[in-house]
Amino acid sequence: MMNIVHGPVRRGVLYVKSKLTERQFLLVACVIVGATASLAAVTLKLLVFRLEELFFTHAAPGNVMWYQVLLPIVGIGVSSLLIVKVFKEFKKGNDKIVYAIAKNGANLPSSQIYSHIVTSSITVGLGGSAGLESPMVATGAAIGSNFGRLYFLPYKERTVLLACGIASGIASAFSAPVAGVLFALEVLMIDITITTFIPLIISAATGALLARMILGDEILLSFRNLHPFNYSNTLFYVCIGILGGFCALYYARMYTWIEHKFEHLRTATHRWIWGSLLLAVLIFFLPPLFGEGYQTIRMLADNNSISNSTGFLLHNFGTTWGLLLFLVAVILMKVFATAFTVQGGGNGGSFAPALFIGGVLGFVIGKCFILLGYEDVPVANFVVAGMASMLSGVFFAPLTAIFLSAEITGGYSLIIPLMLVAAISFFVVKSFEPLSMEMKKLSHTSRLNPSDKDKFLLSRLELTHMVGTDYLRFNTKTTLPEIARLISHDLNDVYAVTSEGNKLEGVIYLNDIKSLMLDYLDKNQYTTATDVMIKQRFLTVNDDVETALYTFEQQNVSTLAVVTETGAWAGFITKAAILDRYRQEILQLSYN
- Range in 124-133, 137-146, 188-197, 251-260 with the lowest mean pLDDT: 188-197
Q: Phi and psi dihedrals of 188, rounded to 5?
A: -95, 0
Whole-Å CA distances, 368 to 226, 361, 400: 18, 11, 28
User: Per-residue pLDDT tens for 418-439?
Assistant: 999 999 999 999 999 998 888 8
Q: Phi and psi dihedrals of 519, rounded to 5?
A: -130, 30
| DSSP string of 30-47, one letter each residue | HHHHHHHHHHHHHHHHHH
Distance (Å, whole) CA 321 – CA 103: 52
Is pLDDT at 316 greater than 80 in this prediction? no
Q: In 182-259, where do the E strands start and end?
A: none
Question: b/e map of 410-443 (b: 16 or more CB within 10 Å)?
Answer: eeeebeebbbbbbbbbbebbbeebebbbbbbbbb
Is pLDDT at 312 greater than 50 in this prediction? no
CB 496 within 8 A of CB 472: yes
User: Per-residue pLDDT tens for 514-573?
Assistant: 777 666 556 666 778 888 888 888 899 888 888 888 899 888 888 999 999 888 999 999
Instruction: Reduce the secondary structure of 49-117 to three states and give it as a string.
Output: HHHHHHHHHHCCCCCCHHHHHHHHHHHHHHHHHHHHHCCCCCCCCHHHHHHHHHHCCCCCCCCHHHHHH
A 10 A CB-CB count for 344 gives: 28
% pLDDT > 70, the chain: 89
The gap from C-alpha 63 to its chain's centroid, in whole angstroms, comes to 39
CB 351 within 8 A of CB 133: yes
Mean pLDDT of 252-260: 96
Strand order in the sheet with 494-498: 473-475, 494-498, 504-509
All domains of the chain, ordered by start, with CATH? 2-215 (1.10.3080.10), 231-269+280-451 (1.10.3080.10), 461-589 (3.10.580.10)
The whole-model pTM stands at 0.85
Mean pLDDT of 145-156: 89
The residues, any chain, with a CB within 8 Å of residue 539's CB and separated by 6 or more, are 463, 547, 548, 551, 560, 561, 562, 563, 573
CB 223 within 8 A of CB 385: no
Closest among 222, 224, 129 to 173, alpha carbons compared: 222
Instruction: Reduce the secondary structure of 129-142 to three states and give it as a string.
Output: CCECHHHHHHHHHH
The residues, any chain, with a CB within 8 Å of residue 2's CB and separated by 6 or more, are none
Q: Band of the pLDDT at 340, cuts 50, 70, 90?
A: very high
